[in-house]
Amino acid sequence: MTDLSVEVCGLRLRNPTMLASGVLDETGKSMLAVAKAGAGAIVTKSIGRDPRVGHPNPTVVELDHGLLNAMGLPNPGIELYAEEINEAKKSGIPIIGSVFGGTEEEIADLAMLMERSGADAVELNLSCPHAKGYGAELGSTPERVESICRLTRGKTKVPILAKLTPNTSSIADLARAAERGGAHCIVAINTLKGMAIDPESRQPILGNKFGGLSGPAIKPVGVRCVYEIYEAVQIPIIGVGGIASGKDAIEYMMAGASAVQIGTAVWTEGTGIFGKVCKEMSKFMKENGYATPRELVGVAHPARR
Ligand SMILES: Cc1cc2nc3c(=O)[nH]c(=O)nc-3n(C[C@H](O)[C@H](O)[C@H](O)COP(=O)(O)O)c2cc1C
């Protein structure tokens, strides 16, 4: 088997696949199961300061080529979640703590608490499209992205991953701002804001009306975002959005991603997806003469060819 190990902003991964925030990562036990299935790292559910129940049902609509979700960031709050991190750490793979907050200070403080809970890195959720006062509402302007990253940098020592929204006219501008603020890595993309209406009842299906679209339908958007970000910043990028095969992961890496995250495919296919993606990546690399995953990064850009 090809050596798939990679290093991304100081984190050593046995392979470039990571669990994306929000699927099977609410408990230490489920994260251990994902690690056992072969993921290279795990991103936790986004955690806030206080416990939060999330949006009313229905919170997920299954579509032909993806999912529309408006979970509303349900979570037990940072204090209780520390136990889950502890448990997940037994896996021995990097655990990246995702945080969200309502103000710049709150996000930076939560990142600090996440670090104290034992997380090996923090991912700032600057991009959830369906929780009022959080996520993309704070992460949509370069000024705020920069200042959130700068404040967080001042309060933490572990690597900072800035997870950006595609619901913007220029994700490259947001990425440049995150880099200026001191982020060590960009994660792209979070879900695309969308909605579904039931014609019979003439009503929006999701309890929250609006949600975030994920899965195969958004892969071309994610690949385009990673490609644009790669040309805009020097820090590494982690690609996410619609990855369900080795070739999907390779597409993201050729666009400029050093590693990838998988969310919806874990929901639809189970934890076996990590082994499957890695096996398919190895096969492609062997057949096409790539010795390490690093050799794939950015090769779709004219300057790298
Ligand atoms: C059910 C569900 C819950 C999610 N919750 C979070 C979350 O808490 N924080 C976050 O940053 N992203 C969250 N996401 C977004 C994913 O991490 C990912 O960015 C997005 O779904 C695109 O990747 P995918 O197509 O592989 O799912 C969630 C996605 C889904 C489907």
What's the gap in Å between 179 CA and the centre of ligand 1? Answer: 22
The tokens of 142 are what?
Answer: 């370069």
The verdict on the CB of residue 241 being under 6 Å from ligand 1 is yes
- For residue 176, CA distances in Å to 155, 172, 211, 224 come to 21, 6, 27, 16
The tokens of 51 are what?
Answer: 């416990």
Pocket test for ligand 1, best of 61, 163, 264, 273 (most atoms within 8 A of CB): 264
- pLDDT 10s digits, 3-31: 999 999 999 999 999 999 999 999 999 99
Nearest CA to ligand 1 atom 14: 22
**Coil/strand/helix, residue 193:** strand
* pLDDT bucket at 304, cuts 50 / 70 / 90: low
Q: In this structure, how many other beta carbons lie within 10 angstroms of the beta carbon of residue 9? A: 18
* pLDDT bucket at 136, cuts 50 / 70 / 90: confident
Per-residue pLDDT at 131:
85
Mean pLDDT of 241-250: 98
The answer to whether the beta carbons of residues 41 and 11 sit under 8 Å apart is yes
Across-strand partners of 67?
A: 62, 214
- pLDDT 10s digits, 151-168: 999 999 999 999 999 999
Q: 18 φ, ψ to 5°?
A: -130, 150
The verdict on the CB of residue 46 being under 6 Å from ligand 1 is yes
Per-residue pLDDT at 282:
98
The verdict on the CB of residue 242 being under 6 Å from ligand 1 is yes
Instruction: State yes or no: pLDDT of 271 exceeds 90.
Output: yes
Per-residue pLDDT at 161:
98
The verdict on the CB of residue 52 being under 6 Å from ligand 1 is no
Per-residue pLDDT at 186:
98
Instruction: State yes or no: pLDDT of 150 exceeds 70.
Output: yes
What's the gap in Å between 156 CA and the centre of ligand 1? Answer: 24
Mean pLDDT of 236-247: 98
The verdict on the CB of residue 21 being under 6 Å from ligand 1 is yes
The verdict on the CB of residue 70 being under 6 Å from ligand 1 is no
CA distance 29 to 51: 19
How is the chain split into domains, by residue range?
Answer: 6-304
- pLDDT 10s digits, 188-222: 999 999 999 999 999 999 999 999 999 999 999 99
Instruction: State yes or no: pLDDT of 57 exceeds 90.
Output: yes
- Let me know how long the chain is: 305
Nearest CA to ligand 1 atom 30: 22
Q: 260 φ, ψ to 5°?
A: -135, 160
The verdict on the CB of residue 39 being under 6 Å from ligand 1 is no
Looking at domain 6-304, its CATH class is: alpha beta
From the CA of 67, give the closest atom in ligand 1: 31
Instruction: State yes or no: pLDDT of 254 exceeds 80.
Output: yes
Return the percentage of the chain with pLDDT > 70, whole number: 99
Nearest CA to ligand 1 atom 21: 214
Pocket test for ligand 1, best of 23, 187, 213 (most atoms within 8 A of CB): 23
CA distance 208 to 2: 45
Q: What contacts 32, CB < 8 A, 6 or more positions away?
A: 87, 88, 90, 91
**What residues are annotated to the active site?**
128
The answer to whether the beta carbons of residues 24 and 31 sit under 8 Å apart is yes
From the CA of 219, give the closest atom in ligand 1: 25
* pLDDT bucket at 113, cuts 50 / 70 / 90: very high
